[in-house]
A and B are shown apart, each in its own frame.
Chain A
Amino acid sequence: MRPFTFERVRTPAEAAAAAARHPGAKFVAGRTNLLDLMKLEIETPTHLIDVNGLALDKIEPTADGGLRIGALVRNTDLAADERVRRDYGVLSRALSAGASGQLRNMATTAGNLLQRTRCPYFYDTNQPCNKRVLGSGCGAIDGFSRQHAVVGISDACIATHPSDMAVALRVLDAVVETVGPDGSTRNIPIAEFHRLPGDQPHIDTVLRTGELITAVTLPKPAGGAQIYYKVRDRASYAFALVSVALVVQKDGTGRVALGGVAHKPWRVEAAEAELPKGAKAVAAFLLADAKPTDQNAFKLKLVERTLAAALAQAKGAQL
Chain B
Amino acid sequence: MKFETPATENPIDQLKVIGKATDRVEGPFKTMGRARYAYEWHDVAKNPAYGYVVGSAIAKGRIRSIDLSLAKVSHGVLAIVTAENAGKLGKGEFNTALLLGGPEIQHYHQAVALVVAETFEQARAAAGQIRIEYEKAPGAFDLAAAKDSAPMADKITGGVAASKVGDFEGAFAAAPVQLDATYTTPDQSHAMMEPHSSLAKWEGDKLTVWTSNQMIDWGRGDLAKTLNIPKENVRLISPYIGGGFGGKLFVRADAVLASLGARAAQRPVKVALQRALMPNNTTHRPATIQRIRLGTTREGKITAIGHDSWSGDLPEGKPDGAVHQTRLLYAGENRMTATRLAVLDLPEANAMRAPGEATGMMALEIAMDELAEKLGIDPVELRILNDTQVVPDDASPPSKDDPQDRKGDTAANQAGKGKRFSQRQFIECLRLGAERFGWNKRSAKPAANRDGMWLIGQGVAAAYRGNQTTKSAARVRLDSRGGVIVETDMTDIGTGSYTVIAQTAAEMLGVPLNRVLVRLGDSSFPVSSGSGGQWGANCSTSGVYAACLKLREMVAQKLGVSATDAVFSDGRVRVGDRDVPLGEVAGSAGLVAEDAIEFGKLAKEYQQSTFGAHFVEVGVHVATGETRVRRMLAVCAAGRILNPKAARSQVIGAMTMGVGAALMEELAVDKRLGFFVNHDMATYEVPVHADIPHQDVIFLDETDPISSPMKAKGVAELGICGVAAAVANAIYNATGVRVRDYPITLDKLLDGLPDVA
Contacts and interface: CB of A to CB of B under 8 A. Distances in A.
B668 A127 contact: no
B128 interface: yes
Interface stretch (A46-54, A190-198, A229-237): A229-237
A235 B621 CA distance: 12
B128 A318 contact: no
A124 B679 contact: yes
Given A126-B57, A234-B663, A301-B750, A309 B690 contact: no
A40 to B, nearest CB: 8
Given A234-B664, A235-B628, A118 B124 contact: no
B592 to A, nearest CB: 49
A258 to B, nearest CB: 14
A235 B691 contact: yes
B557 interface: no
Interface in A218-270: 231-239, 241
Nearest to A305: B623
A234 B623 contact: no
A236 B43 CA distance: 39
B622 to A, nearest CB: 6
A280 B755 CA distance: 11
Most chain A CB inside 10 Å of its own CB: which residue of B663, B668, B689, B745:
B668
Nearest to B660: A234
A65 interface: no
Contacts of A302: 624-625, 746-747, 750
Question: What DSSP secondary structure best describes chain B's contact surface?
Answer: loop
Contacts of A309: 453, 621, 623-624, 756
A63 interface: no
A308 B757 contact: yes
Interface string B240-264: 0000000000000000000000000
Given A127-B673, A142-B672, A238-B685, A3 B125 contact: yes
A305 B689 contact: no
B452 interface: yes
A306 interface: yes
Interface string B441-469: 00000000000110000000000000000
B623 A1 contact: no
A285 to B, nearest CB: 13
Nearest to B622: A319
A108 to B, nearest CB: 20
Contacts of A6: none
Interface string A125-149: 0110000000000010011101000
B677 interface: yes
B757 A280 contact: yes
Interface of A: 1-3, 39-41, 118, 120-121, 123-124, 126-127, 139, 142-144, 146, 231-239, 241, 278-280, 283, 298, 301-302, 304-309, 312, 318-319
Contacts of B169: none
B691 A306 contact: no
Contact of A236 (B452, B689, B745, B750): B689
A308 B756 contact: yes
Contact of A241 (B452, B690, B746, B751): B746
B317 interface: no
A152 B276 CA distance: 30
Q: How large is the interface on B (under 10, 10 to 19, 20 to 34, 35 or more residues)?
A: 35 or more
A279 B756 CA distance: 9
B626 interface: yes
A305 B690 contact: no
B688 A235 contact: yes
B121 A143 contact: no
A231 B121 CA distance: 37
A189 B757 CA distance: 32
A278 B678 CA distance: 36
B672 A305 contact: no
Nearest to B670: A143
Pairs of residues from A and B, 8 with the lowest C-beta to C-beta distance, nearest first = A235-B690, A126-B57, A298-B747, A309-B623, A236-B690, A280-B757, A144-B677, A279-B757
Contacts of B628: 235
Contacts of A124: 276, 677, 679
B125 A2 contact: yes
Contact of B688 (A39, A236, A308, A312): A236
B688 A146 contact: no
A34 to B, nearest CB: 16
Contacts of A238: 685
Given A3-B75, A236-B688, A298-B747, 11 more contacts: A120-B679, A144-B678, A231-B624, A232-B626, A235-B688, A302-B624, A305-B753, A305-B756, A305-B757, A309-B621, A319-B622
Contact of B683 (A3, A120, A279): A120
B670 A139 contact: yes
Contacts of B683: 118, 120
A2 B750 contact: no
A143 B677 CA distance: 9
B145 interface: no
B668 A319 contact: no
A146 B623 contact: no
A237 B692 CA distance: 13
A188 to B, nearest CB: 29
Contact of B672 (A143, A146, A234, A283): A143
A231 B628 CA distance: 12
B682 to A, nearest CB: 7
Contacts of B747: 146, 298, 302
Interface string B62-79: 000000000000010000
Interface in B616-634: 621-626, 628
Contacts of A143: 670, 672-673, 677
Contact of B682 (A118, A142, A278, A283): A118
A131 to B, nearest CB: 16
Contact of B453 (A2, A236, A319): A319
Contacts of A278: 757
Contacts of A144: 668-670, 677-678
